């Protein structure tokens, strides 16, 4: 792997990493802090094509998978963007921007499922 020093000196990369770090932390904290300690049931899926039975119930582990997904998306975007930065700087920017959109969608979906509870 090439020298990672120029990667962390790019201001736009640092901005996107800061935004993605904030979004990942907010997603993890919003999911973990809204779980109750009784281990109740949560609405884990919404399927609009099933008619009356469109809500699927799951446990706390199904909701915690949103927090795990946010952490894994952040880690993999960092690894991928670092590896392709020395080849194409704009491709590394695109990876970070797509991850920003992905983390925003993860936050919206996990929040709406926890509100339906």
Q: What is the pLDDT of residues 53-99, one digit of tens each?
A: 677 777 788 888 999 999 999 999 999 999 999 899 999 999 999 99
Q: Check if the beta carbon of residue 106 is closer than 8 Å to that of residue 65.
A: no
Phi, psi of 44 (to 5 degrees): -100, -20
Q: Check if the beta carbon of residue 64 is closer than 8 Å to that of residue 35.
A: yes
Phi, psi of 9 (to 5 degrees): -100, -5
Instruction: Indicate the pLDDT class of residue 1, thresholds 50, 70 and 90.
Output: low
Domain that holds residue 99: 5-36+64-116
Model's pTM, two decimal places?
0.84
Q: What was the pLDDT predicted at 11?
A: 92
Q: What was the pLDDT predicted at 51?
A: 65
Phi, psi of 99 (to 5 degrees): -70, -35
Residue 53 lies in a domain: no
Residue 57 lies in a domain: no
Residue 98 lies in a domain: yes
Number of domains in the chain: 1
**CA 102, chain centre distance (Å):** 6
């Amino acid at each position: 792997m090439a020298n990672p020093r120029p990667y962390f000196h790019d201001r736009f990369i640092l901005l996107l990493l800061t935004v993605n770090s904030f979004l990942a932390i907010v997603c993890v904290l919003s999911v973990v802090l809204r779980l109750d300690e009784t281990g109740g049931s949560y609405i884990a899926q919404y399927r609009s094509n099933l008619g009356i039975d469109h809500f699927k119930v799951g446990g706390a582990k199904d909701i915690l998978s949103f927090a795990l997904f946010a952490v894994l998306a952040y880690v993999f975007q960092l690894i991928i963007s670092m590896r392709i930065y020395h080849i194409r700087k704009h491709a590394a920017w695109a990876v970070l921007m797509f991850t920003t959109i992905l983390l925003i969608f993860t936050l919206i979906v996990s929040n709406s499922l926890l509100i339906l509870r």
